[in-house]
Amino acid sequence: MSHTPEFFRAKILAQKSALETERENLSSGYVEGDGQMSDAGADLAEIETQSAIYANLDASLAQIDAALAKLDAGTYGVCDRCGKAIAELRLVALPVATMCIECQSVVEGQI
């Protein structure tokens, strides 16, 4: 790899910071029901939407934490499935990638 582990750590930490900021911004604007029956459906839909957004953010943050743990362990950039190196271009595009493109395609049923 021509990019250093520090390059990827910085990239991953920047992504983590952005997601944490997004989560904080969502929390400050969290919608609670106001008790009016006419708006109950809209409130429920908004709460469900926000819950889905939080779940996606939490999943992304978990992937980031896993990538940081791999950096710490010295296993970053190694495919979880086949053990081969993940292409550097893939890691630059998707720093939290855990599989090489070939294995990811197999897992997703594209091959």
Q: What residues does each domain of the chain span?
A: 5-107
pLDDT(31) > 70: no
> Do 79 and 86 meet the contact criterion of CB atoms below 8 Å apart?
yes
pLDDT band at 38 (very low <50, low <70, confident <90, very high): low
What is this structure's pTM? 0.80
User: For the CA atoms of 94, 26, 30, 27, what is the dihedral angle to 10 degrees?
Assistant: 100
**In this structure, what token pair is assigned to residue 11?**
């990239």
The pLDDT tens digits of the residues spanning 61-79 come to 999 999 999 999 999 999 9
CATH code, residues 5-107: 1.20.120.910
pLDDT(35) > 80: no
